[in-house]
Amino acid sequence: MPLSPIVRLGGGPQLDALRNRLREWLADNLPDEFRHTAANPDYLPRDSHERAVRFCRALHEQGWFVPHWPAQFGGGGLGVVEQVVIREELAYAGAPLVNTNGVNMLAPVLFRFGTPEQRTEHLPKIARSERMWAQGYSEPEAGSDLAALRMTARRDGDDYILDGQKTWTSNGVLADWIFVLARTSPLGDKRQAGISFFLVDLESPGITRRPIRSMTGYPTFAEEFFDGVRVPAGNLVGGEGEGWTVAKALLVAERSNVTRAAQAQRYLDELVDWCHEQRGQIHDPLADPANRLALARAVERVEVGRALSYRVAEQQAADELDPALPSLSKLYYSELTAELRQLGAKILGPAGALLPDDPDALLNGHFSEGLLLSLLHTIGGGTSEIQRDLISTAGLGLPR
């Protein structure tokens, strides 16, 4: 079922032509293996990841991998609205967009806080999928309470020396570089003070990496140990002690979720189409009124989510983003993703619990694998409880 939103962004015939052009290109260029997986390509085995990288480089040649970036940094020079349309179509088709940490998180930070040298060095390589990034925030005793982090960075001449540990590092297995938060001054009364933001080559001497295998079987995360790692002072983003400001800006970019709406629509459409194919069979899921009601509610939830994503995009394009809206979007999709996967698992029955590598798996195992992955979204990037707290304080002005 083609993507056909009830709520549409403005743009008229130009955006429709862009959608059609991209759909035609995807029909000829998107490998079938990626149409049948629910996983983020950064979480797939290395061989699949490398094929995804090749696809993204071909996408870049069309100007569609980072379409909203300036051309001087490898972008397509388009606007935010065009970027949303492109990302929406890619997500619905199942296109594997690699290096989400670099594209969606680090790049907006470098555009805002990076030096000209940092932007020139890193942004074109991100655009060409030549440099993969990991996110080094969480530590064994600092997850959602990120201000409790203990990694230290000590200035030594033209370098900083980093010591400590990071864990649950997104894309930590496949990445070449990592952006990390480290404490450049002792923990004080205001815990957010004294934290700085660094760009680190993962091949630097003193770094040890260990994969962390998730319940899906993929080494989704990693942990890293930093033992006297020298990082050039030129790799500090923002001023020393300004890392908390940089980190908050990065999380806002991470939580905008302009593609999650299309992914939700894709899963729902697959499920509805499968249910129609079962009409008249012994186990007809649509014969159960509870299933029909649940699917109708899912349609409602998905359309509301798409409208929310469009609202985020329009406010970003106007540079008038409500500070609570990214958290609202992140919370909404964390919950919706889990709801859709749970609904699919229930309707598909026992065979719907089979993972993608089983030949009897239904709908390519999207709902079984996706249900496992959906647990990640309620924790990673800030737990749902943290998002509710931010909405209440930043959005409603309630006291902490």
Per-residue pLDDT tens digits for 29-66: 999 888 876 656 666 777 888 999 999 999 999 999 99
**β-pair type (177-183, 236-237):** unpaired
22 found inside a domain: yes
The reported pLDDT for the residue numbered 128 is: 97
Q: Which residue has the higher pLDDT, 213 or 128?
A: 128
Split into its structural domains, the chain has a count of 3
The reported pLDDT for the residue numbered 207 is: 98
Question: What is the pLDDT averaged over residues 117-144?
Answer: 93
7 found inside a domain: no
Helix (H) or strand (E) holding 88: helix 80-93
On whether both 261 and 216 belong to a single domain, the answer is: no
Last residue of a domain, one of 83, 98, 113: 98
On whether both 235 and 339 belong to a single domain, the answer is: no
Question: What is the pLDDT averaged over residues 357-384?
Answer: 77
On whether both 237 and 268 belong to a single domain, the answer is: no
Taking the C-alpha atoms of residue 116 and residue 389, their distance in angstroms, rounded to an integer, is 36
Question: What is the pLDDT averaged over residues 183-190?
Answer: 79
Single out the catalytic residue among 254, 300, 314, 369.
254
The reported pLDDT for the residue numbered 175 is: 94
On whether both 225 and 264 belong to a single domain, the answer is: no
Question: What is the pLDDT averaged over residues 96-111?
Answer: 92
On whether both 200 and 310 belong to a single domain, the answer is: no
pLDDT at 102 over 90: yes
106 found inside a domain: no
Taking the C-alpha atoms of residue 106 and residue 102, their distance in angstroms, rounded to an integer, is 5
The reported pLDDT for the residue numbered 170 is: 86
Half-sphere exposure of 266 (CA within 13 A, CB side): 22
Question: What is the pLDDT averaged over residues 198-205?
Answer: 97
Q: What is the CATH number of the domain that holds 148?
A: 2.40.110.10
Taking the C-alpha atoms of residue 171 and residue 175, their distance in angstroms, rounded to an integer, is 6
Taking the C-alpha atoms of residue 46 and residue 24, their distance in angstroms, rounded to an integer, is 28
Q: Which residue has the higher pLDDT, 75 or 370?
A: 75
Confidence bin at 255 (pLDDT 50/70/90):
low
Q: Which residue has the higher pLDDT, 152 or 309?
A: 152
Q: Which residue has the higher pLDDT, 127 or 359?
A: 127
**Phi, psi at residue 143, to the nearest 5°?**
-115, -95
33 classed as catalytic: no
Instruction: Specify whether the backbone of 146 is left (phi greater than 0), alpha (psi in -120 to 50) or beta.
Output: alpha
Taking the C-alpha atoms of residue 230 and residue 159, their distance in angstroms, rounded to an integer, is 6
Q: Which residue has the higher pLDDT, 21 or 375?
A: 21
316 found inside a domain: yes
Per-residue pLDDT tens digits for 374-392: 777 777 667 778 788 878 8
The reported pLDDT for the residue numbered 1 is: 47
pTM for the model = 0.87
Q: What is the CATH number of the domain that holds 62?
A: 1.10.540.10
Taking the C-alpha atoms of residue 126 and residue 123, their distance in angstroms, rounded to an integer, is 5
pLDDT at 355 over 90: no
On whether both 270 and 339 belong to a single domain, the answer is: yes
Report which of 200, 197, 185, 182 is spatially closest to residue 237, judged by C-alpha positions. Answer: 197
Average pLDDT of the chain to the nearest whole number: 86
246 found inside a domain: no
94 found inside a domain: yes
Measuring CA to CA, how many Å separate 30 from each of 2, 22, 262?
16, 11, 17
Are 122 and 200 a contacting pair, CB within 8 Å? no
Per-residue pLDDT tens digits for 212-241: 877 666 677 899 999 999 999 999 999 999
Question: What is the pLDDT averaged over residues 319-335?
Answer: 82
Q: Which of 9-13, 250-254, 276-280, 356-360 has the lowest mean pLDDT?
A: 250-254
On whether both 229 and 270 belong to a single domain, the answer is: no
On whether both 42 and 145 belong to a single domain, the answer is: no
On whether both 237 and 138 belong to a single domain, the answer is: yes
Q: What is the CATH number of the domain that holds 278?
A: 1.20.140.10
Last residue of a domain, one of 79, 98, 117: 98
On whether both 146 and 47 belong to a single domain, the answer is: no
Taking the C-alpha atoms of residue 147 and residue 195, their distance in angstroms, rounded to an integer, is 8
Residue 212, token pair as written in the block: 């962390």
123 found inside a domain: no
Taking the C-alpha atoms of residue 289 and residue 294, their distance in angstroms, rounded to an integer, is 9
Q: Which of 250-259, 328-337, 348-357 has the lowest mean pLDDT?
A: 250-259
On whether both 337 and 359 belong to a single domain, the answer is: yes
Taking the C-alpha atoms of residue 269 and residue 363, their distance in angstroms, rounded to an integer, is 11
Instruction: Quote the domain boundaries for residue 195.
Output: 133-241
Last residue of a domain, one of 48, 81, 98: 98
The reported pLDDT for the residue numbered 24 is: 95
Percent of the chain with pLDDT over 90: 46
On whether both 73 and 142 belong to a single domain, the answer is: no
pLDDT at 354 over 90: no
84 found inside a domain: yes
Report the helix count and the strand count for the chain, using DSSP H and E: 13, 8
Centre a 10 Å sphere on the Cβ of residue 183 and count the other Cβ atoms it contains: 21
The reported pLDDT for the residue numbered 313 is: 78
Per-residue pLDDT tens digits for 64-84: 999 999 999 999 999 888 888
